Amino acid sequence: MTTPRTLFEKIWERHTVQVRPDGATLLHVARHLVHDGSRAGFQALTERGLPVRHPERTFGTPDHYVSTASHDLAAITEPYRREMVTALTANAREHGVTLFDLGDRRQGIVHVIGPEQGITQPGLLMVCGDSHTATHGALGALAFGIGASEVSHVLATQTLWQTRPKSMRVAVEGQLGAWVTPKDVILAIIARIGAAGGTGHVIEYAGSAFRAMSMEGRLTVCNMSIEAGARAGMVAPDETTYAYLRGRPYAPQGPMWDRALAFWRGLPSDPGAVFDREVTLSGADIAPMVTWGTSPEDAAPITGDVPDPARAPTAERREAMARALAYMGLEPGTAIAAIPVDRVFIGSCTNSRIEDLRSAAAIARGRKALVPAMVVAGSGLVKAQAEAEGLHTVFLEAGFEWREPGCSMCVGMNGDLVAAGEHCASTSNRNFVGRQGRGARTHLLSPAMAAAAAITGRMTDVRQLMAGAA
């Protein structure tokens, strides 16, 4: 009998090429995703006269630096940003890399188009020069972000040296309440274990709440694994995974589908597999969540209050909380539902898929925004589907902006910024100091909660709004 293994162990061992005496492992990379921040990686190849080792395993799209006001290159008014986008086009052409470029209806945020195109598949080891590569683990892949020098190493060799992480299982059991979304689940997990709770681990999400969750919901949860300090996040593949992948452009077809399916069914963690750490939450206890500070762990239910740093368990935590509240301009004891909102952003690789847009549109329908609100689809295909369903009309009639695909206001590097001192209700993944612009105050929450904030001009319990009580 073989020792029971976790999903992570099965994928890691399958991709191991060599293990050094010091424990460093050389891994074969099955898929490499690149974006418009990958210029330095390609430049390193050019300087050494090296080709991309496996261009057929490399896929790219511009997302971080593109304008969401227009996909015309002239809309990128800052020369450096425009050069980052054009360099990706040139590098992809030179090296034969598949590129979903501006003007291609498949273009979008790299972590949206990977699953959407079927590039992401169970059992693969995937990397990208972006920390939120953990997103792809939702399909049962082992996916993580890498640095610029590692990007060039993968481009040149299709391999990567890594230290083997530990494993952690986070189970959420029970049914989620009305209007409690996957975004609320991952914010509740991070609030529970802390922003460093997963450090040195790969998290496998399990339990009945995840088995009931759609693929798009699982993508949202895995996306924010890095915000818990984890190296990666994963959900075991199941019938939901297979149904999502079937027929996608880069998914196996015909007899190869049957072979792939047989392999995928053997990937979930074996009964009796041992994890280095286990955490369990009750789905029924999770409420719509909102962050109040400058770390994703600074989260509370919409029914709660801004916490008092004086009650923090350590001096270090007290100091961090006090700094966060000073930056956010909030006082301890303030009701979360009393926090004013100046701007709303619905988008990012966390929450820009069709289910996210449907959720937000359900709140916006027949109502009017009191504050500026921006909706940015995660890809051209998501945008087209939303328009086919009439969601863009719902948003426009409610006074929301309807933008072109891109990373947009998630990160202040493309012209979509939050002004200093403004409170932004954002469906993105990070609320760090200055993340959305110098002095910007970011609150993370779900698409439904963000839309509710746009309608009322403050943090609002979407459950009460939909019941007519807000």
Q: What is the mean pLDDT of residues 240-258?
A: 98
Taking each helix axis from N to C terminus, what angle separates 215-223 and 110-117, rounded to the nearest 10 degrees?
150
Element (H, E) at 148: helix 148-157
Rounded distance, CA 453 to CA 138, Å?
Answer: 28
Specify which residues 456 forms β-bridges with: none
In degrees to the nearest 10, what's the CA dihedral of 29, 34, 39, 44? Answer: 10
| Segment 257-312, tens digit of pLDDT | 999 999 999 999 999 999 999 999 999 999 999 999 999 999 999 999 999 999 99
Amino acid letter for position 282: S
| Segment 387-407, tens digit of pLDDT | 999 999 999 999 999 999 999
**Greatest C-alpha distance within the chain:** 65
Closest CA relative to residue 373, chosen from 455, 470, 445, 262: 455
Rounded distance, CA 448 to CA 452, Å?
Answer: 6
Q: What is the mean pLDDT of residues 60-87?
A: 96
Sign (positive or negative) of CA dihedral 204, 205, 207, 212? negative
pLDDT at site 2? 86
| Segment 144-161, tens digit of pLDDT | 999 999 999 999 999 999
Rounded distance, CA 437 to CA 364, Å?
Answer: 26
Taking CB atoms within 8 Å and a gap of at least 24, the contacts of 394-398 are 394/361, 394/364, 394/365, 395/360, 395/361, 395/364, 398/364, 398/365, 398/366, 398/367, 398/368, 398/369, 398/373, 398/454, 398/455
Q: What are the φ and ψ backbone dihedral angles of 147, each rounded to 5 degrees?
A: -85, 175
- Percent of the chain as helix, strand, coil, to the nearest 5: 40, 20, 45
Taking each helix axis from N to C terminus, what angle separates 380-388 and 110-117, rounded to the nearest 10 degrees?
70
Q: What is the mean pLDDT of residues 213-237?
A: 98
Evaluate whether 400 touches 364 at the Cβ level (below 8 Å): yes
| Segment 414-447, tens digit of pLDDT | 999 999 999 999 999 999 999 999 999 999 999 9
| Segment 309-343, tens digit of pLDDT | 999 999 999 999 999 999 999 999 999 999 999 99
Query: Which value, in Å, is the radius of gyration of the alpha carbons in the chain?
Result: 21
HSE-CB for 79 with a 13 A CA cutoff: 0
**End-to-end alpha-carbon separation of the chain, Å?**
59
pLDDT over 90 (residue 385): yes
How far CA 444 is from CA of 160, 186, 187, 428, in Å, comes to 33, 11, 9, 6
Evaluate whether 169 touches 206 at the Cβ level (below 8 Å): yes
Rounded distance, CA 391 to CA 365, Å?
Answer: 9
Sign (positive or negative) of CA dihedral 396, 398, 401, 402? negative
Rounded distance, CA 131 to CA 232, Å?
Answer: 9
Taking CB atoms within 8 Å and a gap of at least 24, the contacts of 274-278 are 274/4, 274/6, 275/6, 275/167, 275/168, 275/169, 275/204, 276/166, 276/167, 276/168, 276/201, 277/166, 277/167, 277/168, 277/169, 277/201, 278/168, 278/169, 278/170, 278/171
Specify which residues 442 forms β-bridges with: 424
Residue 24 has a CB neighbour count (10 Å cut-off) of: 12
Residue positions counted in the chain:
470
- 3-class secondary structure per residue, 377-415: CCEHHHHHHHHHCCHHHHHHHCCCEEECCCCHHHCCCCC
Evaluate whether 205 touches 185 at the Cβ level (below 8 Å): no
Q: What is the mean pLDDT of the chain?
A: 97
pLDDT over 70 (residue 87): yes
E-strand stretches of 97-253: 98-99, 125-128, 142-145, 159-163, 166-173, 201-206, 232-235
Task: Tell me if residue 60 falls in helix, strand or coil.
Answer: strand
| 1 band by pLDDT with thresholds 50, 70 and 90 | low
pLDDT at site 469? 74
| Segment 364-382, tens digit of pLDDT | 999 999 999 999 999 999 9
Domains, in order of start, for the chain:
7-278 (3.30.499.10), 289-466 (3.30.499.10)
Evaluate whether 322 touches 297 at the Cβ level (below 8 Å): no
Residue 392 has a CB neighbour count (10 Å cut-off) of: 19
